[in-house]
Amino acid sequence: MLTSNERVIDFSKDDYLGNKINLADYQGKKVLLSFFRGASCPFCNLRIRQLIMQYPEFEKNNIEIIALFAATSEEISEYAGKQSAQFPIIPDPDLDLYVKYGIEESFSGMFKVMLKPVELLKVMTSGFFNLKTIHKKPILPADFLIDENQVIHRVYYGKDYGDHVPIADVLAWGNNHV
């Protein structure tokens, strides 16, 4: 697992639309690097929607977003990509970056989220609910706040399928209040 104050692990990958994304190109910018499960994961799609809805606030706070999915480009196009995010979504079906960034797997993460009735209700009424990712690897989400010098400011390894760093925390950091 990575920790705060570590230098970011650089990468260069194509997003699901075929655009080359080089993390080094984000030097001088703050970045929310967010790792998700499969592209059909309802919790992941709900979070992508939240990021899209809050995107003007991210821009106002000078924060770039890069999302990664443990999925193929085709899977992203079929699910998460339909939301037309203003930020890159990178497929990593072989989990190369997931391994480098210490992203964990946990079957208990699926059960923990089931103990959160409010979160389950949100997902079930979001339009994203499906059971397609149940058989997939039990990957837990993770978020990394990366500063302008490509140093990790904050690491957030999720405890269940819907556990991400709070958006308010990210925006406050971007506004230099954290």
Among residues 36, 65, 69, the alpha carbon closest in space to that of 140 is found at: 36
The answer, yes or no, to whether residue 5 has pLDDT greater than 90, is yes
Q: What is the pLDDT of residues 47-91, one digit of tens each?
A: 999 999 999 999 999 999 999 999 999 999 999 888 999 999 999
Those residues whose C-beta lies under 8 Å from the C-beta of residue 50, and which sit 6 or more positions away, are: 167
Ordered domains of the chain (ranges, CATH): 30-168 (3.40.30.10)
DSSP 37: S
The answer, yes or no, to whether residue 177 has pLDDT greater than 60, is no
Q: Three-state SS for 91?
A: strand
Radius of gyration, alpha carbons of the chain: 15
